[in-house]
């Protein structure tokens, strides 16, 4: 079974600064998908970024980028120029290429302060 670990239950960052959320996973698969989802307070969970393991290039979406280290089984999320609207719970998730179920970490609660 695949496990996903987010070692930072809570983090705080000031507006305009950069923050990195960590995620590690355990799998014997060679190809898979990794995701970061964001759930703002009392709002819907939305996809932030997706990485396909066979692609060596790190995925980026505007201010959000990942540092994907396949050998280390690490998938950290970097948020640049943090904004108040980035305050949310962030979930890291794993999916086998041949599967459909997402395996989630426990989440990291990020607070962006003025």
Q: Which residues bind other proteins (CB under 8 A)?
A: 4, 33, 35, 37, 43-47, 50, 52, 91, 95, 97, 100-107
Task: Report in angstroms how near the CB of residue 22 gets to other proteins at its nearest.
Answer: 16
Give whichever of 102 and 111 is closer to other proteins, judged by the CB atom. 102
Q: What is the distance between the alpha carbons of residues 81 and 60, in angstroms, rounded to a whole number?
A: 14
Give the E-state strand segments of 3-63 in sequence order. Answer: 3-5, 10-14, 19-21, 24-26, 32-39, 46-52, 60-61
Query: By C-beta, is 85 or 114 nearer to other proteins?
Result: 85
- CA 8 – CA 23 distance, rounded (Å): 9
**Smallest distance from other proteins to CB 35, Å:** 7
């Amino acid at each position: 079974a695949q496990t996903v670990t987010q070692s930072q239950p809570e983090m705080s960052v000031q507006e305009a600064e950069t923050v990195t959320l960590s995620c590690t996973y355990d799998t014997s698969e060679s190809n898979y998908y990794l995701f970061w989802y964001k759930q703002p307070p009392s709002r819907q969970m939305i996809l932030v970024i997706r990485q396909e393991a066979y692609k060596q290039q790190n995925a980026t979406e505007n201010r959000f980028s990942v540092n994907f280290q396949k050998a280390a089984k690490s998938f950290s999320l970097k948020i640049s120029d943090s904004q108040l609207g980035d305050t949310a719970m962030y979930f890291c998730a794993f999916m086998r290429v041949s599967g459909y179920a997402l395996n989630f970490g426990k989440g990291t609660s990020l607070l962006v302060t003025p």
